[in-house]
A and B are shown apart, each in its own frame.
Chain A
Amino acid sequence: MDFLRKLLFLPEQASTIAKEIDWLHYSVILITFAGVFLITGVSAVFCILYRSRRPRRPDERRPPGPTPPLWAEIGLIAGLFALFVAWWGVGFWQYVRLTEPPSDTYDVYVSAKQWMWKFAYPSGSHTINTLYVPEQRPVKLLMTSRDVIHSFFVPEFRLKFDVVPGRYHSVWFTATKPGAYKILCAEYCGTDHSRMRGEVVALTASDFDRFLEQDGGGGPGDPESMSANASEPSLSLRGQTAAAKYGCLRCHSVDGSPHIGPTFLGLFNARVPLEHGGEIVADAAYLTESMMDPQLKLHRGYGPVMPSYLGYLQPGEVSALVEMIKSLRHPPASAPLQLPANRTFPIPDAPPLRPNAQESSP
């Protein structure tokens, strides 16, 4: 099978899903090849067998040719359709799995701009163009763009998804072995589209922990944040800063009491009833959507008064806000957090809402 993979020039299989997808790939391509050569071959044979052997005369009549039996035609078409439906079924099933992340993912926020990738980790650090992930652990990317549409493509993972401004798309993958894999931008985005490349570096669990420890600020490829390394606050801390800066806390409480807007406490991953019926899980995608387009899926019982923060919030701040809300998941055991009374920006020495866990799993 590895021979077949190399014959088809497929890159190595470095994610859990890659092997399964390649199986479907082999079957589709092999059957395609066989079918095309078979039918072309059959018609070539017809052309030789039934070639015209003498000049035609004007008074010549050709007897009408035989018509193939109807059952054969219908059987052929039905068989072909069954084959296509089988491919579609497997493909759709795999696609659904590609789009539904498991619950215990390690989340990284991706923001793309012309022509670079920025990765923000829950620990507060961020890297440019190089994404560090632990191997053997599902990683979820929450992606948005700051300017035009890009597309996050890692051939070795058989993974691609568009990165669209004003929207957050999430994809996930599990890297199966340590190594470095290309990130390519697959959606045309201007002059340096072809140079908007990066790398996914999959590390073993222990290496990854070491990366998180020593790399509080920026990654190796990010000189700008290297200098600010020491003073870089954690992501949820920056979320508090942003919440104060943009006045989120004027309407949203953090202690569980309802105010103009729903409280942040315990909001993350809670089931939220919607104004127009139904309910939704308040995951990162819903939270970011509600910042950008608050009236789209309105929490029942609250008025449509929140303005859109689209274009005001920087992508890093969005991920920081989400991380802060995430850190408020459980009712606090001790006394609720006391917010600074004046709510000015920046908040000096604001204590973390909770000891900030580096991992996000529940």
Chain B
Amino acid sequence: MSAPAYREQSSIPLEAVPPTEPSYLDGGGLMGWLNTRDHKRIGIMFYGAVLAMFVLGGSFALLLRLELLTPDRTIMDANTYNRLFTWHGIVMVWLFLIPSIPNIFGNFVLPIQIGARDLAFPRLNLASFYVYLAGSAIVLGGLVLGGTDTGWTFYTPYSETTPDRLFPVVFGIFVVGVSSIFTGINFIASVHMLRAKGVHWRRMPLFVWSIYATSIILVLATPVLGLSVLLVGLDHVFHLGLFNPASGGDPVLFQHLFWFYSHPAVYIMILPAMGVISEIVPTFAHRRPASYNAIAFSALGIALVGFLTWGHHMFVAGMSTIDSGIFGILSMFVAIFSAIKTFTWVATLYRGDISFNTPLLYFFGFLFLFMFGGMTGVAVATQSLDVHWHDTYFVVAHFHFIMVGGSVTAFLAAAHYWYPKMFGRLYSERVGLLCATAVFIGFVLTFLPQFLLGNAGMPRRYYSYPPEYQWLHVLATGGAWLLGFSVLLAVGNLIVSLRYGRRATANPWDSRSYEWLTPSPPPPHNFPETPVFDRGPYDYELSQEEVYARAYPR
């Protein structure tokens, strides 16, 4: 490739002016949105749907916490409680967390970050959205009409003998899984085929790496889960005797199949979050990541080792002792890869030029909560300790530290970080910082007491509990409501700013990553002209002007 000559001045306006050409948001009417093949519009539609699921799952959680205020009945009976925690888990895991960051921000940002005009299969992308909607409708319909009180884990034989209806829900989950597979294939194909000229593998933004690793898990693991839960549903309806020992089946086999997906699913939820953080830290520190390779390859490492750790959910389920030992040590590797990432993020801050905006504050919340969640993960992978902690509130607290403290915090960070790019406006920084602090405090108040409850021996999924645990439960309930309101306030801040926020420039954070090269919001085909890159996404040693010139050579 001959060295391109660079323009003297970039044609991209660095000042805040309304973009001259229409953005992806303009025109088309309702049908223009519903029929769109634009990855950005599909991302925004996912945004709406997934946020609705988040609010729904969150309200279930708040009701559960209200019930737990007193050791016995507070506002609902035992069956309602059992259904609600099932609904909370199913909605949060399959309808919110798994599609959240990949389907919203992955969809919106990933094609721009590889310099492409769209994903490889735009129609498949739209199909993914409608399949997700259909699956969600089936799941929610099944929950409301059929009850379903099995817990989100569907452990057999209880799930096959419960009087509540089960099949619609597991069928809905199967359908949502199809949507995940569509999206995963699309991302993998796009990363392989659609990178702009000059974006070779080591010039891909780190968010792309983590979405790529996530997609591998989505494509390889989701079929196993889809089929396993479908078999449970069929077993429930037709009594096939697959997982019920009364008819010759094996309940522990189901646990193996279930966790073969559902443990990697944890990495489906946390890897994109790590990707978001890996973008935010260099942007706000205005520094190249301390080690690009470390972050990129540890994402792949987590995705691969994550497939070999599922047995740590079954230390007391009757697995052989030696299997438990092997699964225990393999689980430690995940912690090592996560530690590599954590150290790299912190090292990136060193001698940076740090501007302190809302996404960076969310990063701090993430860092603390994710490390705490990760280290307690090492603790529960230590077999003898897990015997005491298994199925107690300690485990509940541990995975909420990862799923809420990690994933949801990173989700909020991403929502603020890419907000100017998505909507062309700036949110209120003051309210944003306030909310980030409140989310952190609410979270710690909710889940730190749950570690102590678990130590004290409080099992999970308990409608009524021994009264000595009450005051910790009251603390957790207060924290949960604070958390709920501060998340609502954060989302409200973003919604209000859609109309009243100041106009954003193309690159309000002074980032070097590729998505900030286009106007905010981007035009329908992402770039005003086809970019050819002669630089990486973290070249802070180049000036802003050189950065533009080296993407649009003339």
Taking Cβ atoms with an 8 Å cutoff, the residues of A that contact B are 8-11, 17, 21, 24-25, 28-29, 32, 35-36, 39-40, 42-44, 46-47, 50-52, 56, 58-68, 73, 76-77, 80-81, 84-85, 87-88, 90-96, 98-99, 147-149, 151, 153, 155-156, 158-162, 164-167, 169, 182, 184-195, 197, 310-311
Q: Is the CB of A84 within 8 A of B378?
A: yes
Q: Is the CB of A39 within 8 A of B464?
A: no
Task: Tell me how far the C-beta of A8 lies from the nearest C-beta in chain B, rounded to whole angstroms.
Answer: 5
Given contacts A50-B352, A80-B336, contact A21 B245 (CB under 8 A): no
Q: Is the CB of A95 within 8 A of B388?
A: no
B550 touches A (CB below 8 Å): no
In the complex, which of the residues A9, A29, A32, A164 has the most CB atoms of chain B within 10 Å of its own CB atom? Answer: A9
Q: Is the CB of A66 within 8 A of B329?
A: no
Alpha-carbon separation in the docked complex, A193 to B390 (Å): 16
Given contacts A77-B336, A184-B459, contact A160 B541 (CB under 8 A): no
Alpha-carbon separation in the docked complex, A153 to B394 (Å): 14
Alpha-carbon separation in the docked complex, A91 to B388 (Å): 12
Q: Is the CB of A189 within 8 A of B158?
A: yes
Task: Tell me how far the C-beta of A52 lies from the nearest C-beta in chain B, rounded to whole angstroms.
Answer: 5
Given contacts A165-B245, A165-B251, A193-B461, contact A40 B452 (CB under 8 A): no
Residues on A with beta carbons closer than 8 Å to the beta carbon of B288 = 64-65
Which residue of A has the minimal Cβ distance to B388?
A: A158
Residues on B with beta carbons closer than 8 Å to the beta carbon of A165 = 157, 245-246, 251
Q: Is the CB of B543 within 8 A of A60?
A: yes
One of A21, A85, A155, A190 near B457 (C-beta < 8 A): A155
Residues on B with beta carbons closer than 8 Å to the beta carbon of A187 = 155, 391
Which residue of A has the minimal Cβ distance to B150?
A: A188
Alpha-carbon separation in the docked complex, A95 to B380 (Å): 13
Given contacts A32-B375, A151-B316, A161-B316, contact A66 B350 (CB under 8 A): yes
Q: Is the CB of B383 within 8 A of A73?
A: no
Q: Is the CB of B287 within 8 A of A62?
A: yes
Given contacts A21-B388, A92-B325, contact A56 B379 (CB under 8 A): no
Residues on B with beta carbons closer than 8 Å to the beta carbon of A193 = 82, 461-463
Q: Is the CB of B336 within 8 A of A39?
A: no
Q: Is the CB of A95 within 8 A of B383?
A: yes
Given contacts A60-B544, A73-B343, A188-B155, contact A21 B384 (CB under 8 A): yes
Residues on B with beta carbons closer than 8 Å to the beta carbon of A21 = 384-385, 387-388
Given contacts A52-B353, A88-B328, A155-B456, contact A64 B540 (CB under 8 A): yes
Which residue of A has the minimal Cβ distance to B250?
A: A166
In the complex, which of the residues A9, A188, A189 has the most CB atoms of chain B within 10 Å of its own CB atom? Answer: A188
Given contacts A21-B385, A67-B290, contact A95 B390 (CB under 8 A): no
Q: Is the CB of B376 within 8 A of A32?
A: yes
Residues on A with beta carbons closer than 8 Å to the beta carbon of B332 = 81, 84-85, 88
Residues on B with beta carbons closer than 8 Å to the beta carbon of A44 = 364
Task: Tell me how far the C-beta of A129 lies from the nearest C-beta in chain B, rounded to whole angstroms.
Answer: 15
Which residue of B has the minimal Cβ distance to A162?
A: B317
Q: Mark B398-439, 1 if CB is under 8 A from A, else 0.
A: 000000000000000000000000000000000000000000
Q: Is the CB of B385 within 8 A of A8?
A: no
Q: Is the CB of B464 within 8 A of A194?
A: yes
Residues on B with beta carbons closer than 8 Å to the beta carbon of A190 = 82, 149, 158, 162
Which residues of chain B in 302-343 are interfacial with respect to chain A, using CB atoms and an 8 Å cutoff? Answer: 315-318, 321, 324-325, 328-329, 332, 335-336, 339-340, 342-343
Residues on B with beta carbons closer than 8 Å to the beta carbon of A68 = 290, 347
Alpha-carbon separation in the docked complex, A99 to B540 (Å): 56
Q: Is the CB of B464 within 8 A of A160?
A: no
Residues on B with beta carbons closer than 8 Å to the beta carbon of A32 = 372, 375-376, 378-379
B185 touches A (CB below 8 Å): no
Alpha-carbon separation in the docked complex, A162 to B542 (Å): 60
Alpha-carbon separation in the docked complex, A156 to B457 (Å): 8
Given contacts A65-B287, A67-B290, A160-B388, contact A46 B350 (CB under 8 A): yes
One of A8, A90, A191 near B78 (C-beta < 8 A): A191
Residues on A with beta carbons closer than 8 Å to the beta carbon of B385 = 21, 24-25, 28, 91
Residues on A with beta carbons closer than 8 Å to the beta carbon of B510 = 56
Residues on B with beta carbons closer than 8 Å to the beta carbon of A184 = 457, 459
B70 touches A (CB below 8 Å): no
Residues on B with beta carbons closer than 8 Å to the beta carbon of A151 = 316, 390-391, 459
14 contacts between A and B (CB under 8 A): A8-B452, A24-B385, A40-B367, A52-B354, A56-B286, A73-B343, A88-B383, A91-B386, A92-B328, A92-B329, A149-B156, A188-B461, A194-B459, A194-B465
Alpha-carbon separation in the docked complex, A77 to B291 (Å): 14
Task: Tell me how far the C-beta of B493 lies from the nearest C-beta in chain A, rounded to whole angstroms.
Answer: 23
